[in-house]
């Protein structure tokens, strides 16, 4: 839930309720596709890591919209 809260806009009680529904669907999808508990945990971890990585990339690109490396600008 904490990861979803950071990455999906949610306002008020309705937003929190919607996040819970999203989290439940996400968890159910992973659970049904997992072969065992270790696979389930691996898949959950991987999805969360991907979500965090995409967010970091988007934030980086937003702070540097030209995509240029700061070191290149200094030369």
Residue 54 in contact with residue 35, Cβ under 8 Å? no
Does position 34 have pLDDT exceeding 90, yes or no? yes
64 within domain boundaries: no
68 within domain boundaries: no
Q: Which string of b and e fits 50-75 if b means at least 16 CB within 10 Å?
A: ebeeeeeeeeeeeeeeeeeeeeeeee
Element (H, E) at 62: helix 37-63
The residue range of the domain holding 18 is 1-59
71 within domain boundaries: no
Mean pLDDT of 48-73: 72
39 within domain boundaries: yes
Residue 44 in contact with residue 36, Cβ under 8 Å? no
Q: Work out how many domains the chain is built from and give that number.
A: 1
More confident residue, 65 or 61: 61
What is the rounded CA–CA span in Å between residue 25 and residue 27? 5
The pTM for the full model equals 0.62
17 within domain boundaries: yes
């Amino acid at each position: 839930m904490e990861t979803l809260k950071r990455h999906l806009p949610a306002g008020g009680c309705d937003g929190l309720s919607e996040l819970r529904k999203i989290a439940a669907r996400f968890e159910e999808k992973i659970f049904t596709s997992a072969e065992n508990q270790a696979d389930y945990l691996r898949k959950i971890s991987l999805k969360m890591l991907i979500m965090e990585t995409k967010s970091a990339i988007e934030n980086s690109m937003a702070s540097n919209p030209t995509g240029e490396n700061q070191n290149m600008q200094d030369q």
